[in-house]
Chains A and B, each alone.
Chain A
């Protein structure tokens, strides 16, 4: 059911999710009995203050981390009981990741970074290479950059290469953790434009951010506080320079005491 048009289809469903860490004798609860549904095709933005549990929730949803209790079902299947290897298969088939620190493999060219993910799910090599090339062009990375190493390009270019790697396998969900957090304004806009375009193509995206400008790109904003959903705002479809959406988000964030 990849990138279908079924907007009401629930991709991810979270029930009574808890995540806590033990630090010495003390136990710290990060996610606290959280319920959440993610619909297919939504660009969901998760906001909240530091320590609210945004990244923890993101990584639990994506099978990168195991919750302490509760259930996460993906397309009706509970992934919390998966073994580490099964979760790896789940991630490679259904998820894409974009990180704040980008995390490209620094000893590989940009093309190899993309193919490392692309060739993992099988399929023909030539087709995967063609798709990677198309995606690089789509995120405005010219061919001359494909053979370069991450240390030889700018942060914005690296993050766009990271997006190519994340979406090369046509994941059901693209998880992004502060994707513009380490970028300057110009590069941030370029990266956000890629996200918007992917969203318009029907890509489901869940993005954690502190940045209001980034949040505006989503159609649904969830605000976390103390590991719970404190508020939710439906912004509707993104259009550039839409003052009404900006005001709505500002009002929501003010309401959340942000």
Chain B
């Protein structure tokens, strides 16, 4: 045992720097893997725990207050799966929040009475204004943090053309709603402000049935039952959501990030496996004579293998623990970013399971692969090893003969050096290939998120014109003509968003005069409705109703129900696929044609949307109830996505560069050890240090170029599948992402350039070695 320990120490000292490089890669792997595991193992339970702490409802169902009745509440109470429920009064309004992260943001807002007692959906006040404020309001964490409203600051809601301003008195943690993608949020007004608002608006008073179900109840089924009950009692359900749909909306980004981190960790783990295999095999080749001597002295193969494997396994153990420790340093930042999007605070907690899984996985994988790689030692005959089976002895073919290969001698020598290094070529190819997968992914993100941000936005958002005008006039055609004739208008579409029921399911209906004129076609199967008898439905509805293209769906709006033929399936990330599309005629048959629509205005120059709104107000006067600069809102959302994408691309490039640096360090160090004498001979012949550096770095380039280009081009095949899978997870069955070959090649070229630069820098020590000292060695 002592001898093995001595021998192991020798192997460690000899390969110290390479083992440290390997350790660094393990550290990166551990860091990423542990982050992914903590998110996977801790955030979900933390979310559920917080929901339980705040006694959140399993089902929320909003109905108009005037339709609420003791009969309905009795019926809800009697439902066998309902354990507890509470009626929470509120004022529901479509409101524009002014200066929400620098823009105007329209959302369905439920104004609750802060002073009403709550047994369900309790609120936990996280931050309060230090001083008493005039006209106070309490905001949920999501609106306060994402919208950038701090305690003491003012928030203004524009409702039906009137502005209502409040001062943020506190920020509350609630688990009642999702985030902006759920299209419904709640805010909380003290009793006096609540009453004032109710008086000022004279409409919109609603009751939220917050329901807690018993253990094991199928919440979706219970919701369907309750919705039927409400309809039977003449109470139309305005909004409804389950704990699951709320969670999906809040956790979408977290879940996506967890998957991406886990995939990233697997890729880096693959790299580290190949690296340790390469080093072990190289060490066996370098130390063959010594191993022969050790065997002749009586060391067993197992003993030598154990000594060889031990430093790598110990490094894996040590650096994976360090990686885990480092990940705890990064977790608070990561969690803050996620909290901003998810609207709930997650306390970073120690996760023994994540720690053990990370460390055990990396250590065991290292142990297994190094052990297998060192297997050649068993087959080594002592005398053959002592005699020194050099690399040259194994040479069978003289590749790239200097006399016949076209090109300069330096180029040919570079090719020869590459041709005799099969093991390093395999390692380099695998590393560059898998890292280019990440680079290609970031290239795709760059193109679709930064060069053509509309691709990403159209995938994740609904129809987005430049200006949305809410008009009071019943002469929508005349208004459309008037707005369309204004300077700067490209086209104007009549558009409305209404809450309907499809079958038994609540859904958002997008109503448009002509879907072929819209900019963001969300139809992923079949087609958009054209006639008044056609409908397209969202993926979630299709799944729940068990129907598809060619079937019939019954749509209910108010008291009227009508059948429509399903002609297509459409997506909506914001509404989790709970949508449908109807034509103007189709919806008029339901509504009686009395409802006013919005006008979606598409401008020739979207940057001047504010100027256009002024023009429209001047031209149409009081007939415009509200005007939203949707282009600005879209740009704000785009800039947010662009910021995230830039960070993701930068992180991918930085991690790739770091991993390539570490791998090249190991490869070039191994090459310098193995070819030390060779470099001396070259120098004696008259090759300069600069030439040898270029030759060494250049010998890595053919494999680098082949791996990067082939992986980047293969991206054309797999990136659509990856994008489909990723966006499919959030309900975008059809994405607008494109993979332009030029961008993929450009990113691959950047990777190649970075690899070349790193190779040259790492090979520079060759210059400092003198020919004479090399030959002496």
Listed in ascending order, the chain A residues whose CB lies under 8 Å from chain B are 59, 64-66, 84-85, 88-93, 95, 97, 99, 103-109, 111-112, 115-117, 119-121, 125, 129, 147, 149-151, 165
Contact = CB atoms under 8 A, between A and B. Distances in A.
B770 interface: yes
Contact of B686 (A105, A106, A120): A120
A112 B402 contact: yes
A119 B687 CA distance: 11
Nearest to A106: B392
A103 B681 contact: yes
Contact of A84 (B395, B401, B677, B770): B770
B10 interface: no
A92 B678 CA distance: 16
Contacts of A121: 686
B565 interface: no
Contact of A120 (B416, B687, B690): B687
A150 B390 CA distance: 11
B403 interface: yes
Nearest to A100: B775
The 5 closest A-B pairs by CB, nearest first: A92-B686, A106-B392, A119-B409, A65-B772, A88-B688
Contacts of B690: 85
A112 B775 contact: no
B420 interface: yes
B685 A89 contact: no
Contacts of B676: none
A91 B771 CA distance: 11
B684 interface: yes
Contact of A88 (B391, B393, B689, B775): B689
A125 B403 contact: yes
Interface string B295-306: 000000000000
Contact of A92 (B402, B680, B687): B687
B380 to A, nearest CB: 18
Contacts of B413: 116
26 contacts: A59-B772, A64-B770, A64-B775, A65-B771, A65-B772, A65-B773, A84-B688, A88-B686, A89-B686, A99-B684, A103-B775, A104-B681, A107-B392, A107-B395, A109-B398, A109-B401, A111-B401, A112-B398, A112-B401, A116-B402, A117-B685, A120-B409, A125-B403, A147-B398, A147-B401, A149-B392
Contacts of A125: 403
B684 A97 contact: yes
Contact of A111 (B391, B403, B767): B403
Nearest to A102: B681
A66 B771 CA distance: 10
Given A84-B767, A85-B690, A151 B390 contact: yes
Contacts of B277: none
Nearest to A91: B686
B684 A103 contact: yes
B678 A151 contact: no
B398 A105 contact: no
B689 A108 contact: no
A108 B770 contact: no
Contacts of B770: 64-66, 84
Given A84-B770, A107-B416, A125-B403, A116 B398 contact: no
A150 B391 CA distance: 11
Contacts of B398: 108-109, 112, 147, 149
A255 B689 CA distance: 44
Nearest to B692: A88
Interface of B: 390-393, 395, 398, 401-403, 408-409, 413, 416, 420, 677-678, 680-691, 767, 770-773, 775
A57 to B, nearest CB: 12
Contacts of A65: 770-773
A89 B687 CA distance: 7
A121 B413 CA distance: 14
Nearest to A132: B403
A176 to B, nearest CB: 12
Contacts of A120: 409, 685-687
Nearest to A56: B772
A221 B74 CA distance: 122
Nearest to A121: B686
Contacts of B686: 88-93, 95, 117, 120-121
Nearest to B677: A103
A108 B684 CA distance: 17
Contacts of B678: 105-107
A120 B412 CA distance: 12
B766 to A, nearest CB: 11
A149 B391 CA distance: 11
B403 A108 contact: no
Given A64-B775, A108-B416, A115 B409 contact: yes
Given A108-B398, A125-B403, A84 B420 contact: no
A222 to B, nearest CB: 20
A92 B685 contact: yes
Given A107-B391, A109-B398, A149-B392, A88 B687 contact: yes
Contacts of A97: 684-685
Contact of B689 (A85, A117, A149, A150): A85
A242 B354 CA distance: 87
A67 to B, nearest CB: 11
Most buried by B among A99, A106, A121: A106
Nearest to B420: A107
B214 to A, nearest CB: 76
Contact of B772 (A64, A85, A88, A104): A64
A103 to B, nearest CB: 5
Contacts of B408: 119
Nearest to B685: A117
A112 B767 contact: no
A108 B678 CA distance: 11
A178 to B, nearest CB: 12
B275 to A, nearest CB: 24
A149 B395 contact: yes
Given A99-B775, A107-B420, A116-B409, A129 B403 contact: yes
Contacts of A129: 403
A132 B686 CA distance: 17
A113 B345 CA distance: 69
A99 B771 CA distance: 13
Nearest to A150: B392
A199 B632 CA distance: 88
B724 to A, nearest CB: 48
B267 to A, nearest CB: 33
Contacts of B420: 107
Given A88-B686, A120-B685, A147-B398, A106 B390 contact: yes
A85 B690 CA distance: 8
A88 B686 CA distance: 4
A190 to B, nearest CB: 22
Given A120-B409, A151-B395, A165 B685 contact: yes
A74 to B, nearest CB: 14
* A97, A115, A125, A150: residue with the most chain B Cβ atoms closer than 10 Å: A125
Contacts of A103: 677, 680-681, 684, 775
B688 A85 contact: yes
A151 B685 contact: no
B409 A91 contact: no
Nearest to B412: A119
B688 A89 contact: yes
B683 to A, nearest CB: 6
Contacts of A111: 401-403
Contacts of A64: 683-684, 770-772, 775
Nearest to B417: A107
Contacts of B775: 64, 99, 103
Contacts of A104: 681
A107 B408 CA distance: 19
Contacts of A85: 688-690
Contacts of B416: 107-108, 112
B288 to A, nearest CB: 14
Contacts of B767: 84
